[in-house]
């Protein structure tokens, strides 16, 4: 299947449409959207290659926020968390670290870039409610990309209402603000950072959707990181896919995306049954949309631009941060949790200030914590 996909991609790259469609036909004979991991990989990559050939990329599927109903997102999220530790471990490590930081805070202000549905925060809110001496006031600034249509901030507003209900249930004083716009256009004044607060910038698995210097000379990605630094947070929590498929060259990008997504499809194959309706949802939300963007799109149309953790490290250091070591106890408990509850082929490891998560030896996700190099 990989050979067929590469042959098709080579034909696409050399504008040999007849050979490309010949290979697509062959791939489709051996693929299925509801088959095993290899069949699913072939099916969806063939769809993306055909979209590239025919230029049909401007469809609702090519939307970083997606248009999947909330109830379906919740089902997919629940299935994913139960079968794969990657997202749960990102949230667990981030929340435990933030909780420790806020042990004596009177006000905790979390500026969450990419809050989406706010799934990360109920566990932290519950933990804060049990803090000796009572919980701090929790301020959350939820930041999202604008939704298409007449109500660009509808989703991020609804997230605030849900978090408010949760805080009320656990008697945690709560204040919510939101911004729905491109992150590199946000100014420090819009964020309302008050002195005396314990401030955390949180960005989990979302910075890859901010364009880089290949789209604009003034890299929006670096502009967003400088904004994170200008906030002067007590802590910056960062997690991202560890991907090498951000090359400007189509074939290089295709090959790397194929290897990365093969691991993800294999991971789901081993942990979610083929008959499970949620599996398709999980794959669509976590693999297929990004793969479509990476394979079918060029220039500003390509919204998924992942980098390796080493490339992210260079960017974050350049923005004015220094690494903060991860708490050894949190790491130890996290590893035990993964070993007890999840498949033996999940890998979790750490190297000084990075936590790595992978599948069968391939690092798929990386998380780290940072502090301003010079606290203002």
Residues 122-140 have pLDDT tens digits of: 999 999 999 999 999 999 9
CA 36 to chain centre: 25
Model pTM above 0.85: yes
Residues 195-221 have pLDDT tens digits of: 999 999 999 999 999 999 988 889 999
Q: Is 80 exceeded by the pLDDT of residue 262?
A: yes
d(CA 307, CA 208): 7
Please give the full DSSP string across 236-268, using - where no structure is assigned: EEEEEEB-----SSHHHHHHHHHHHHHHHHHHH
Name the average pLDDT for the chain: 93
Q: Is 80 exceeded by the pLDDT of residue 23?
A: yes
Q: Is 90 exceeded by the pLDDT of residue 260?
A: yes
pLDDT of amino acid 376: 59
pLDDT of amino acid 69: 81
Residues 300-328 have pLDDT tens digits of: 889 999 999 999 999 999 999 999 999 99
d(CA 25, CA 27): 6
Residue 131: phi and psi, rounded to 5, are -65, 135
What would the mean pLDDT of 75-99 be, rounded to a whole number?
93
pLDDT of amino acid 61: 45
**Which is nearest to 140 in space by CA: 166, 240, 241?**
166
**What CA dihedral angle connects 334, 338, 339 and 344, to 10 degrees?**
-140
């Amino acid at each position: 299947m990989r050979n067929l996909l590469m042959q098709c991609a080579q034909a696409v790259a050399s504008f040999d449409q007849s050979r490309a469609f010949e290979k697509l036909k062959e791939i489709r004979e051996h693929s299925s959207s509801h088959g095993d991991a290899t069949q699913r990989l072939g099916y969806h990559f063939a769809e993306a290659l055909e979209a590239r050939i025919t230029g049909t990329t401007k469809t609702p599927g090519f939307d970083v926020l997606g248009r999947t109903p909330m109830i379906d997102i919740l089902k997919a999220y629940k299935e994913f968390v139960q079968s794969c530790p990657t997202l749960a471990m990102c949230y667990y490590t981030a929340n435990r670290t933030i909780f420790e930081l806020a042990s004596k805070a009177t006000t905790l202000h979390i500026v969450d870039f990419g809050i989406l549905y706010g799934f990360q925060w109920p566990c932290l809110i519950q933990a804060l409610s049990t803090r000796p001496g009572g919980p701090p006031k929790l301020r959350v600034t939820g930041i999202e990309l604008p939704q298409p249509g007449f109500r660009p901030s509808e989703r991020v507003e609804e997230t605030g209402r849900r978090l408010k209900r949760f805080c009320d249930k656990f008697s945690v004083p709560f204040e919510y603000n939101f911004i729905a716009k491109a992150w590199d256009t946000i100014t420090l004044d819009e964020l309302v950072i008050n002195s005396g607060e314990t401030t955390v910038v949180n960005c989990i698995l979302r910075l890859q959707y901010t364009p880089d210097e290949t789209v604009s000379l003034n890299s929006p990605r670096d502009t967003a990181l400088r904004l994170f630094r200008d906030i002067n947070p007590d802590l910056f929590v960062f997690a991202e896919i560890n991907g090498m498929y951000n090359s400007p060259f189509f074939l290089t990008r295709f090959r790397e995306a194929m290897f990365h997504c093969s691991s993800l499809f294999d991971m789901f194959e081993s942990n979610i049954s083929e008959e499970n309706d949620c599996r398709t949802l999980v794959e669509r939300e976590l693999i297929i949309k990004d793969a479509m963007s990476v394979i079918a799109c060029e220039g500003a149309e390509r919204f998924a631009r992942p980098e390796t953790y080493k490339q992210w490290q260079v960017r974050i250091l350049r923005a004015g941060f220094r690494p903060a070591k991860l708490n050894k106890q949190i790491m130890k408990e996290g590893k035990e949790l993964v070993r007890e509850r999840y498949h033996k082929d999940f890998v979790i490891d750490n190297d000084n200030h990075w936590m790595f998560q992978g599948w069968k030896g391939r690092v798929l996700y990386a998380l780290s914590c940072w502090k301003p190099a010079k606290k203002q």
